[in-house]
Amino acid sequence: MIKVLLSQDIHPEGRKLLEGKFDVRIAPGAAEADLIEAAKDVEAIILRTNAKITRKVIENAPKLKIISRTGAGVDNVDVDAATEKGILVCNLPAVNNVSVAEHTVALIMHLAKQLSTMDRAVREGKWNMRNSNIAVELEGKILGVVGMGNIGALVAKKCHDGLGMKILAYDPYTEERFKDYDYEFTDDLEELFRRSDFVTLHCPDTPETRGMVKRDLIYSMKPTAYLINTARGTLVDEKSLIMALKERRIAGAGLDVFTEEPPKEDNELLKLDNVVLSPHSAAMTKEATTRMSTEAAQAVVDYFEGRQPKYIFNGNELRKKGIRLYFEMEKLL
Ligand code: NAI
């Protein structure tokens, strides 16, 4: 029976698709050594965000044919190493767009209405907080969207159409398809940070974007502005963000992602009252979790039943290397 490794258990609906067809096992841990041992004789890996499939893991897994991600990002896979070995890397580009976009809007609204502070005030008997006027309206405020891909575009739409916010977007790779929208684009990231009332990050972690939100950008924001990050913690210089928050150089931040996850106990972000935090849970709604597990499992089923998985992240690179993507069922099962 074909062996499938799960980096972590998946939703029962996803497991149902594999049961009876595959020998399914769960990695004992997310450390590289655990994964090397667990992956050494498997043909497929279903990979959640908890683990990294490194070159070493790939080189020690001679039977591996497909790595199927339960989400959009593939920054926890050494894609080059996989491609070199002719291994398909499948992802799910749109599977959790709605959940992440809604979570982003929730963070924006939470900050605008100062819900943490208000909640605490009521519990502590500080009813007078209602007269502090620290909440703001969102209508007419500028939302700076960095990265207008699937999620960024959806956040822009929800905030523009639903909340009446103005959209100022930055994305060096996609402007054309927003021609008919009432959005302003800039090719100057500094301008976006300087003018926005809320800045929200939606670009992938790449060598180009890693650390792109540097001290200067953070400090160029308005003192009344908020930074929202539901993309990747690595995009932001977290130390500078903490400084700016402590010095009240910006009003606050809403963070679903961190440089180190989970953040260490002594991470100062955990002590600040002008931030709202969530544990990389933007995508983890009931609906999206079910979709993620079933669609990632379906990619593995499709592959071994001779059908092309819906999304092959390294398809072009594999084709360039002359590796064929279609297989006949009887050759594999
Ligand atoms: P996408 O690939 O559809 O969009 C990314 C956009 O970023 C593209 O339009 C691209 O042109 C743009 N981009 C690339 N380099 C850029 C740069 N230097 N500056 C500005 N824009 C740049 O990806 P999608 O699905 O919208 O996801 C965005 C990110 O959200 C993912 O890469 C992932 O890191 C994160 N994410 C977080 C989740 C969570 O649970 N918090 C769940 C899913 C995704």
Render pLDDT for 230-271 as a digit per residue (tens, 0 to 9): 999 999 999 999 999 999 999 999 999 999 999 999 999 999
Closest CA to ligand 1's atom 19: 171
- 326 has pLDDT over 80: no
Strand, coil or helix: what is 131? Answer: helix
- Asked if the bond preceding 204 is cis, omega within 30° of 0, the reply is no
Provide the token pair at 333. 């099962």
- Kindly report, residue by residue over 150-206, the tens digit of the pLDDT: 999 999 999 999 999 999 999 999 978 898 999 999 999 999 999 999 999 999 999
Rounded CA separation 183/175 (Å): 10
Report if pTM > 0.85.
yes
Q: Which of 11, 48, 110, 232 is catalytic?
A: 232
Longest dimension (CA), the chain: 73
pLDDT of residue 176: 81
Do residues 156 and 180 lie in contact, with contact meaning Cβ atoms separated by under 8 Å?
no
Contacts of residue 68, Cβ cutoff 8 Å, sequence gap at least 6 = 44, 45, 46, 47, 90, 296, 297, 299, 300, 309
- 333 has pLDDT over 60: no
pLDDT of residue 322: 87
Judged on CB neighbours under 10 Å (0-12, 13-18, 19+), 162 is: exposed
- Kindly report, residue by residue over 149-163, the tens digit of the pLDDT: 999 999 999 999 999
Identical fold between 3-95+286-320 and 97-277: yes
Is there a catalytic annotation at residue 280?
Answer: yes
- Average pLDDT score over the chain: 95
Q: Give the gyration radius of the chain's Cα atoms.
A: 22
Closest CA to ligand 1's atom 33: 231
Percentage of the residues of the chain whose pLDDT score is greater than 90:
93
Percent of the chain that is helix, strand, coil (3-state, to 5): 40, 15, 45
Rounded CA separation 305/331 (Å): 10
Closest CA to ligand 1's atom 4: 149
- 330 has pLDDT over 60: no
Output the CA 203–ligand 1 centroid distance in Å. 3
In this prediction, residues 298-305 reach a mean pLDDT of 97
Which position has the token pair 């039977």? 63
43 CB near ligand 1 (under 6 Å)? no
Output the CA 75–ligand 1 centroid distance in Å. 11
Q: Could you tell me whether strands 252-255 and 275-277 are parallel, antiparallel, or unpaired per DSSP bridges?
A: parallel
The CATH topology of domain 3-95+286-320 is Rossmann fold (3.40.50)
Query: Domain spanning 97-277: which superfamily?
Result: NAD(P)-binding Rossmann-like Domain (3.40.50.720)
Q: How confident is the model at residue 329 (pLDDT cuts 50, 70, 90)?
A: very low
pLDDT of residue 328: 38
100 CB near ligand 1 (under 6 Å)? yes
Domain extents in the chain: 3-95+286-320, 97-277
Is there a catalytic annotation at residue 11?
Answer: no
- Kindly report, residue by residue over 3-38, the tens digit of the pLDDT: 999 999 999 999 999 999 999 999 999 999 999 999
Question: Of the residues 203, 257, 280, 284, which should be mutated to test ligand 1's pocket, given the most ligand atoms within 8 Å of the CB?
Answer: 203
Paired residues of 168 in beta bridges? 144, 184
Q: Number of C-alpha atoms within 13 angstroms, CB side, residue 258?
A: 18
